[in-house]
């Protein structure tokens, strides 16, 4: 049986009889396989301890240790009492560790932040290096996963920052949200589902050691590294919901190093020898420092996953709009030539697409060639053409005039609705006449449209390829064992926005091809 199917079946068994805790259990197993630790943050009574008990059943003959911390907890209660016999017989200060944390495969420590400094310092070494010093001996621990839980964040100024940073995955645990799941939980009359039942998919110690070696050989390709860079840049300015403030979320180099190990583990579990973009989405659980940052950081990760697609689509859309401009101006000029209309031949063409309006504002006002040529003649009887006037987003000192039937179509800030007419030599803006910039005697067109041509690109094939690539990534994300249903919904929401951009590009493509308006 391939490893992906085996882990899928194992997770299914571990999630049996548990309601809406798939994310906690699945990511806990990922953390265990990566040799990392996990923190469950949430109120009492949301099955945090059950998650740790279920993780014990993932490993063959695993031993577990659970403890509820208090301000008065001592190292003896966690790491084992001092062995009186060893002290008497050999004058050695050693702990009797059997049945305590140093001999456990899976550890659950509740109310972790209530641990005293002596416990905290030992835990740092346990989590980091899987080592425990007992007297004059340094023991390599069998620890595969340490699950910590709390209903609060660590207090500031109490030296808990180092321990907080050691928990690579941090998950917000909540009560059952879906009514259907809630009813199932209420009606589930089995007193307690077996949490340590052996099954054929359990992982042995030998397999676990072999897998660690294989995980180390998994590679990280350039596109994944680029995506990590995009995420890091996004974390410098996290947009918070219902706030104008942005946060710079700090993530230590050590965490990024451990995140890479998590990515490699995810790739290995999915039967790959190389990390893919689909492994990246769950890492937002590793990046937040405050609970209210979680959703915003997930959005940053999702945008980073699709950034190559959005850049590609933006490039296609920009090229299409340029081609559409060229096509429309050529069409307008050809139409005027065929009609024998030569009254605009001496108007100065600026930057291929504009005529300049003189004596308006600062003298830096321009109207699209196509719009000016298609304007109605000035008449007291006919209704004017509706248009908009706005600052050019590329050059804010320049004012652009467009003729639009729907004046709400332009969303640039500071857009002003105007009425437009023309005659042989002037543009009328809100009834006020302005001369058009004409070529002076001896002056020649410097930027004639003949210098431009429509690009010979197969836009339809490019857009189809982009859409197919997006669909493939969405499908692969959906198949990932560690991507939650909530995450999939967020991906779908973002992708729907990207697909709209593709749809708008297809509209421009049809306009270019068939002259549709």
Residue 144 confidence (pLDDT)? 95
- The percent of residues in the chain predicted with pLDDT above 90, rounded, is 56
Residue closest to 163 by CA, chosen among 109, 100, 101: 109
Residue closest to 246 by CA, chosen among 234, 235, 237, 236: 237
Cα gap 423→203, rounded to integer Å:
84
N-terminal to C-terminal alpha carbon distance within the chain? 57
Cα gap 10→207, rounded to integer Å:
15
Cα gap 162→189, rounded to integer Å:
43
Cα gap 217→265, rounded to integer Å:
10
Cβ proximity of 25 and 52 under 8 Å = no
1-183+202-210 placed in CATH 3.30.70.1380: no
Residue closest to 219 by CA, chosen among 274, 301, 271, 154: 274
- The mean pLDDT of 292-307, rounded to a whole number, is 96
Q: How many residues does the chain have?
A: 517
Phi-psi region of 59 (alpha: psi -120 to 50; beta: other; left: phi over 0): beta
Choose between 53 and 511: higher pLDDT. Answer: 53
Cα gap 387→410, rounded to integer Å:
10
What sign does the CA torsion over 476, 482, 486, 490 have?
A: negative
Extents of the domains making up the chain: 1-183+202-210
Please report the beta strands in 216-273, taking only residues with DSSP state E, as ranges in sequence order: 238-239, 246-247
DSSP structure class, residue 278: G
Q: What is the pLDDT of residues 269-288, one digit of tens each?
A: 999 999 999 999 999 999 99
Token readout for 474 is 């969405």
Token readout for 157 is 């100024």
The alpha carbon torsion through 210, 215, 217, 223 (nearest 10 deg) reads 170
Residue 351 confidence (pLDDT)? 80
Residue 196 confidence (pLDDT)? 47
Q: What is the pLDDT of residues 359-407, one digit of tens each?
A: 998 889 999 888 898 888 877 677 888 999 999 888 888 999 998 756 5
pTM: 0.81
- The mean pLDDT of 305-318, rounded to a whole number, is 94
Residue 362 confidence (pLDDT)? 84
**207 has pLDDT over 90:** yes
Please report the beta strands in 272-406, taking only residues with DSSP state E, as ranges in sequence order: 349-350, 354-357, 365-368, 385-391, 399-403
DSSP structure class, residue 141: P
């Amino acid at each position: 049986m391939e490893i992906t199917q085996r882990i899928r079946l194992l997770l299914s068994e571990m999630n049996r009889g548990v309601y809406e805790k798939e994310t906690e259990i699945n990511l806990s197993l990922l953390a265990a396989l990566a040799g990392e630790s996990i923190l469950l943050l949430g109120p009492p009574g949301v099955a945090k301890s059950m998650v740790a008990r279920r993780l014990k059943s993932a490993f063959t003959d695993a031993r577990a240790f659970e403890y509820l911390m208090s301000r008065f907890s001592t190292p003896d209660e966690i790491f084992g009492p001092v062995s009186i016999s060893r002290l008497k017989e050999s004058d050695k200060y050693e702990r009797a560790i059997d049945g305590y944390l140093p001999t456990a495969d899976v550890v659950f420590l509740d109310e972790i932040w209530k641990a005293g400094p002596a416990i905290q310092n030992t835990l740092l070494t346990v989590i980091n290096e899987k080592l425990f010093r007992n007297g004059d001996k340094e023991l390599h621990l069998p620890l595969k996963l340490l699950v910590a839980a709390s209903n609060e964040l660590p207090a500031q100024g109490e030296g808990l920052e180092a321990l907080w940073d050691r928990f690579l995955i941090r998950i917000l645990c909540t009560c059952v949200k879906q009514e259907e799941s809630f009813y199932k939980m209420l009606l589930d009359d089995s007193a307690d589902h077996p949490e340590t039942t052996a099954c054929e998919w359990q992982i042995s110690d030998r397999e676990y050691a072999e897998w660690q070696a294989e995980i180390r050989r998994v590679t990280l390709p350039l596109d994944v590294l680029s995506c990590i860079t995009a995420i890091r840049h996004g974390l410098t300015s996290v947009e918070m919901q219902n706030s104008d403030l942005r946060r710079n979320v700090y993530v230590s180099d050590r965490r990024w190093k451990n995140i890479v190990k998590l990515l490699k583990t995810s790739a290995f579990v999915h039967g790959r020898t190389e990390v893919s973009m689909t492994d990246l989405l769950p890492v937002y659980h590793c990046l937040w420092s405050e609970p209210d940052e979680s959703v915003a950081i997930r959005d940053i990760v999702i945008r980073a996953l699709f950034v190559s697609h959005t850049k590609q689509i933006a490039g296609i859309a920009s090229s299409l709009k340029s081609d559409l401009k060229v096509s429309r101006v050529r069409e307008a000029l050809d139409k005027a030539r065929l009609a024998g209309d030569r009254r605009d031949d001496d108007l100065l063409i600026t930057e291929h697409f504009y005529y300049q309006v003189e004596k308006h504002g600062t003298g830096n006002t321009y109207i699209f060639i196509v719009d000016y040529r298609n304007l109605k003649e000035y008449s007291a009887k006919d209704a004017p053409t509706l248009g908009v006037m706005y600052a050019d987003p590329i050059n804010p000192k320049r004012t652009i005039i467009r003729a639009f039937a729907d004046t709400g179509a332009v969303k640039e800030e500071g857009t002003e609705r105007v009425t437009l007419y023309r005659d042989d030599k002037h543009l009328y803006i809100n009834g006020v006449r302005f001369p058009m910039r004409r070529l002076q005697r001896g002056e020649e067109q410097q930027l004639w449209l003949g210098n431009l041509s429509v690009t010979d690109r197969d836009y339809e094939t490019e857009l189809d390829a982009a859409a197919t690539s997006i669909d493939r990534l969405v499908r692969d994300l959906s198949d990932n064992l560690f991507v939650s249903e909530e995450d999939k919904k967020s991906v779908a929401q973002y992708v729907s926005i990207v697909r709209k951009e593709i749809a708008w590009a297809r509209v421009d493509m049809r306009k270019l091809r068939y002259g549709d308006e």
